[in-house]
Amino acid sequence: MKVKGEFAYASDLWHEDMLWGATLRSPHPHARVTGIHIAEALAVPGVYAVLTHADVPGVNRYGLEHPDQPVLAEAVVRYQGEPVALVAADHPETARRALARVTVDYEVLEPVTDAEAAVAGTAAALHPGGNVVRHVPVLAGDQYAEAEVVVSGTYEVGMQDQAFLGPESGLAVPAEDGGVDLYVATQWLHVDQRQIVAALGLPEDKVRLTLGGVGGAFGGREDLSIQVHACLLALHTGKPVKMVYNREESFFGHVHRHPARMYYEHGARRDGTLVYVRAKIYLDGGAYASSTPAVVANAATLGVGPYEVPNVRVECWGAYTNNPPCGAMRGFGAVQAAFGYESQMDRLAEACGLDPVEIRLRNAMREGSTMPTGQIVDSAAPVATLLRGVADLPLPSSPGGLDLRRLPGGVSNTTHGEGVVRGVGYAVGIKNICFSEGFDDYSTARVRLRLVGGEPAATVYTAACEVGQGLITVLQQIVRTELGIERVTVEPADTSTGNAGSTSASRQTYVTGGAVRAAALAVRSALFADVASRSGTQRSELSLSGGKILSTMDGVVGELADVLGDRDYDETVEWRHRPTETLDPETGRGNAHVQYGFAAHRAVVDVDVELGLVKVVALDCAQDVGRAMNPQAVAGQIHGGSAQGLGLALMEEIQIEGGVIRNPSFTDYLIPTVLDMPPMNVEVLELADPHAPYGLRGVGEPPTISSTPAIVAAIRQATGKALTRVPVRPEHIAGI
C-alpha cells in the first residue's frame, strides 16, 4: 500500500465537523513568562478555544522517565519552541491567525548552552536538582594503569535529527463517556496513555489510543508531541480535533540526538594490545530529561567499544541546557561513543605502526569476553569475523574517463579529478538490544485461531507499533510458522491489548515476536490437546503444516478446518526476556543488558582536498543478525541505518546558536538522498543467540553506529586531517 501511495498516514486522518489545533511556541530559549493574553485570539471568528497551562485539568507535567516537562509552559520557558498556548479553530489558517493574536510577556534570561559547563556548575541551575540529569561511571581493573603507547583526543558530535518524513500528527475524538479516543503516530501507545491520563486527570479506561499510520520514527516519536494537546482541545470543545505539524514545527516538536563532547585516552603495549581506556563523555540533554538517563548509561557501558580492555574508567554525564530537548535516536548513546573510541583506535594504530584492521583484530571482543561492567558476553560476538569480512571484499575501481557523477561535487562540475584523493576507513560498533538496567521489559500478544469463510485463519492482537520496520510481516511469518496456516491478520495496534513496550532499542521482533510466538504455541498446544483426546494420538507426535494436522506415527490425522469447526482457540501471553540488573551507581558494575549486536563497515571515499567535498564511493557492511527472520527486511535495515550514519558523518546537523535553531527545514537541514548513498555490499552472519526467540538478534541500530566513524576514517586517510568532529564540513578538510 505504501508503494502504491494508498497507505493512510496519521496526517490523513479526518472526521466530520472536526476542528484544527495549533500550538503557540516560545521564540526564546530561556525566559520567564510574566503574562499571557488570549482575549484577542478568542475574538477571531471560527476560534473555539484558546488554552494555557491554567486549563490543564490534571498534572501539568509529563516525561518518559521523569515528569519534568510542562504540558504548557507556566512561569518559565526552557527552550525555543516550548509550547505556551493552544488554539482550536474551524480551519488551520484561522488557528494560525489566532495564534498570532496571543500575546505573551517574556522576561528574557541568559540561556545555558554548554553541557560541560552545565555539569561543572558554572552555569545557572535550570531545574531544582541542578543541571546533571544523570552521571554514570564504569570502572574496571587498575585505575592507575600505565602503558607504553598513549594516545588522547577530544571529539564532538553534532545534534542530529531523526528527519522522519511523516510529521507529528493525530486526531482526538471526545467520547460520550467523558473520555477521549486518540489516533496518533507514535512509538509506544501505553506510555503515551500513562502520561496523557495524568495530564487530563482521567482514569486510564477513559483515554483510548489507536496507532495512526506512521511515516518513520527512529526514536523521535517516543516522547509526546501533540498527544495531550489534541486531547485537551477535544475535551474542551466537545469536538474532534486534528493536529499536524509542518516541517519547521516538527523540528521544535520532537527530541533529537544528543550532541556530545568526549575526552578519550587509550593506553596500549607497543604491539597494540589495549591496557586501559579512560574517557569523559558529556551529553547535552537539552531542556528536559526525556530518555537522557538511559542514553547516558548506554554511552558509558559501551564506551570502550567491542574490545577487550582490562582497565577502564569511563564517566558519562547527561546535562540540562536551554538547547532543544534530546532523547532517543537510532543508536541511542552508542553512536556518540563509537565516534570517540573508533577515532582513538585509528590513532593508536598509527602510533603503534599497525594497520587499522589489525589493531582491531588484536583487541576484538569474542564470545565469553567480559564487558567493563563485569557482564559476560554469552552469545556470539564475531567482531574479528565481521572485520575480516568487510576487509576481504574487493575494493571499488577508480573512475575511468570523465564521469562527473562519480566525482566529488557531481554534475556541478567542480573538478575533473584534479585534487581528488581516495581514502579507505574501517570501524566496528557494539549496541545493546532491548531495554536494560532491570526495566520490566515485556510484550503482550493475543493470537486467535478460528474458521473464517471455511478457511483456518489467525488474528494477532498487539499494541506494538509498526513504524516502517516491517514488524507486521514478521509477526505474520511467526504465526504462519507455528500454526502452519497462510491466512494471518494483524489487527491495528491499540491500548485495548496489553502493553507491548516501545518500538525502539531494536526490541520489537525480539520481544513482541517472542510474545506472538508464545501465544501461537499456546494456541497450538490447546488444539493438540483436543486432537489427542479425540484420536488417542500423543500430543508430542502432532504437528501442523499446510492446514493439516500431522502425526509422526500416523501421517495426516485430519484437516485443521474440520477440527476447528465452530470453536475458537484464543490465547493471550505476556512474554519477557531474561532479567537484567541496575548498574551499581559507584562502579557501573552489573548485568545491565539483554543482548549485544555487532556490525562493521568499510568506507571508501573520494575527497576533493581543495574544496573539501566528499563522495562516498562504497560503504560495505557485515553484521551478525542471529537469524534473518526476513532477509529482505534485514538488508533494508542495514542500508537504512548506514544511510543515517552517512548523514551524521557528512551533512546532518541541527545548527544551534545561543539556544536558537538556525536551520529548521529540509532546505537547510540536509539528509542523504539516493544520489548520496553508494552501492553497498552487505554480508549477513546468522550466529544464533541461544537466549533469544529463533536465535534472532536486533538489527536496526548497529549499522548506524559503525558507518559514521568508518566514513570519517576514510576521509582522514585521504586528507591527513585529524577530523575530530562530525559532521565533517568542507572547511574542516580544506581549511577554508
Q: Each residue of 66-86: pLDDT tens digit?
A: 999 999 999 999 999 999 999
Within 8 A by CB and 6+ apart from 735, the residues are none
Best CA proximity match to 540, nearest among 523, 560, 524: 524
Question: What span, in angstroms and rounded, lies between the C-alpha atoms of 596 and 582?
Answer: 17
Per the listing, cell 530518555 goes with: 291
Answer yes or no: pTM beyond 0.75. yes
Quick one: pLDDT at residue 1?
A: 75
Quick one: pLDDT at residue 736?
A: 61
Distances (CA, A) of 64 to 61, 214, 292, 332, 532: 11, 20, 10, 15, 48
Question: What span, in angstroms and rounded, lies between the C-alpha atoms of 308 and 538?
Answer: 50
Nine-digit cell string for 249: 514545527
Q: Each residue of 429-452: pLDDT tens digit?
A: 999 999 999 999 999 999 999 999
Q: Are 240 and 15 in contact (CB under 8 A)?
A: yes
Burial of 376 (0-12, 13-18, 19+ CB in 10 A): exposed
Q: Are 138 and 373 in contact (CB under 8 A)?
A: yes
Nine-digit cell string for 459: 488474528
Nine-digit cell string for 71: 504540558
Quick one: pLDDT at residue 408?
A: 94
Catalogue the long-range contacts made by 126-129 (C-beta closer than 8 Å, 24 or more residues apart).
Answer: 126/30, 126/78, 126/287, 126/320, 126/321, 126/322, 127/68, 127/320
Distance from chain centroid for Cα 390: 25
Question: What span, in angstroms and rounded, lies between the C-alpha atoms of 630 and 470?
Answer: 9
Burial of 105 (0-12, 13-18, 19+ CB in 10 A): exposed
* Sites in the chain below the pLDDT cut of 50: none
Task: Report which residue type is found at 209.
Answer: L
Quick one: pLDDT at residue 722?
A: 97
The end-to-end CA distance of the chain, in Å, is: 48
CA atoms within 13 A of residue 91's CA, in its CB half-sphere: 6
Indicate the DSSP class of residue 622. Answer: E
